[in-house]
A and B are shown apart, each in its own frame.
Chain A
Amino acid sequence: MSSPAATSLVEDRTATRSIPVPLRKLARLLLGLAVAAVIWEGAVLLFAIRPYYLPRLSTILMAMAATPRAYIDGFLRTLAETLIGFAAGGAFGVLMGIVFFRVRALREMIFPIFVVSQTIPVIAFGALVVLWFGNTLLAKAIIAFYLTFFPVTVNTLLGLETVDPKQVALMRSFGASNRQLLLRLQLPTALPQIFVALRLAASLSLVGAIVGEWFGDTTGLGVLLLQAMFTENVVAIWGALLAAALLGTGFYAVVAAVERRLVFWSAEQ
């Protein structure tokens, strides 16, 4: 324990700053981004890098600002595909994790099929899905789903298996039903593991959506990327790339923030 004088001194210092911690963190993040942008811009100018390899950041941003509609539409479309695939994959994964945990026979029957399904390259699977569902938003969401459900299933199962048998015995001694056992003990115990998979799934569902768009569509970040590649428009490639990075990072940050709120106990232990 520090002396009262020392603690009041610390309090004074924080009081004079009086900027909340999240804001300060955000400010540092923005500062970091600004420094990276300056280095990018400066390096291209200083070393005279040809735009074919690396265009100036300002050129890319100006090109994006010139045709904002395409980027905004593409962003929203890809976001929708990603979110639907992620939500469906997450829900299905948790459900299958619970089913496999409860019913051993089903695990032995179906789990190997899941594993085999994951060894099929997403490109091959994507071609099939587009054949079945056409160039619809659903088709892209299904490809995103295909990439996300498996890690969530595996981690849910792993998490459920870490439940302390003594805690199960305690709940049973209180007369708990299987449902109460699942909701009050097993799922909360598995939650940290489930979120590890959800963070991974956040990135994977974006990959699924973009790959899905490559099989043919008119809007989406994947489409922008493909068009830019065909026309060898380097600035447009970088533009689509930045938009995809923004989407991926933003989505990941949201999932991680939800995790910090819901799984507050595991970080502290």
Chain B
Amino acid sequence: MQAARLPHPGPATETPPAQAKPEPLLELRAIDKTFGSVAALSGLQASVAPGEFVTVVGPSGCGKSTLFNIVAGLEEPDAGGILRFEGNSCHAADLLGRVSFMPQRDLLFPWRNVVDNAILALEVEGMKRDQARAKALKMLPEFGLAGFEKQYPNQLSGGMRQRVALMRTFLFERDLMLLDEPFGALDALTRAMMQRWLLDVWQKYRRTILFITHDVDEAIFLGDRVLVMTARPGSVKLEQIVDLPRPRRPEIVTSPEFVRLKRTLLDAIEEESMKSFQSSIAQEKTP
């Protein structure tokens, strides 16, 4: 199953891994990804520790989605990069079925009601429907969906649909959860409520989360660590630890520490946004 891989000559192999730190759940080193002549990712380096909530922000078109597709197992990085999951080096395809992935849109199936949408991943795993449904029914109140189990997606509001999709992701019990701008399409009020709710659920279940967002506030409010990506080809420009106390209260967003973090991150993002903006203009000038 595993192809032979060349040892990576990067600096990471020179220094032995620190004993004190727990082994990262997910580790990416020197990840490149090109589509034809377009380099989406170049030399990307990142790691996620077990139980950690890592958020990723970056200018649009920086390859965030490519990064996610690789970690979800849907896309193979170019040869030469190192991908390690639970301490073992692996191919992206090996991650299929091992990471619970929630795409930007809820992608609910219109012919399935709330419960049956939520148990989709369990069914694929081979769990009996009755058993899966019983499990999902117990979780409904926590996701604010009590009493809605028989409703179909077209009868639900945007926030509720998103919670069904999140529930589907949570029920697929994997150590790593990938959330790709799950609240991007929601209005500001619903979004703030969903963020606080997600933190509650995360703290209860202690999953590891990798969370993509456009929104710097959201990245700081949710994350233990924020990764800022560079303009295309994407790599990690800045890794900012967020040492705000948990549980986080909504009013934390106006605290001086929060504002200071936001300043740092915004500066980094703006620099990259300018780059990608200028390169897109340059591309238009040279047809």
Contacts and interface: CB of A to CB of B under 8 A. Distances in A.
Contacts of A169: 69, 72, 74, 103
A266 B154 CA distance: 10
Contact of A164 (B98, B107, B124): B107
A173 B154 contact: no
Chain B at the A interface: SS class: loop
Contacts of B166: none
A268 B97 contact: no
A10 interface: no
A175 B107 contact: no
Contact of B96 (A172, A180, A191, A269): A172
Contacts of A191: 111
A174 B107 contact: no
Interface in B105-130: 105, 107, 109-111, 120-121, 123-125
A8 to B, nearest CB: 23
Nearest to A181: B124
B43 to A, nearest CB: 25
A170 to B, nearest CB: 5
Contacts of A164: 107
B103 A170 contact: yes
Given A169-B74, A173-B74, A265 B97 contact: no
Contacts of B172: 174
Contacts of A171: 120, 124
Interface in A224-269: 264-266, 268-269
B154 A184 contact: no
Given A265-B154, A269-B110, A172 B74 contact: yes
A172 B107 CA distance: 13
A166 B65 CA distance: 12
Interface of B: 69, 72-74, 96-101, 103, 105, 107, 109-111, 120-121, 123-125, 152, 154, 172
Interface of A: 164, 166-167, 169-176, 180, 184-185, 188, 191, 264-266, 268-269
12 contacts: A166-B103, A166-B105, A172-B74, A172-B96, A173-B72, A173-B73, A173-B74, A174-B121, A175-B124, A175-B125, A265-B110, A265-B152
Closest 5 CB pairs of A and B: A175-B97, A265-B110, A173-B101, A174-B121, A174-B124
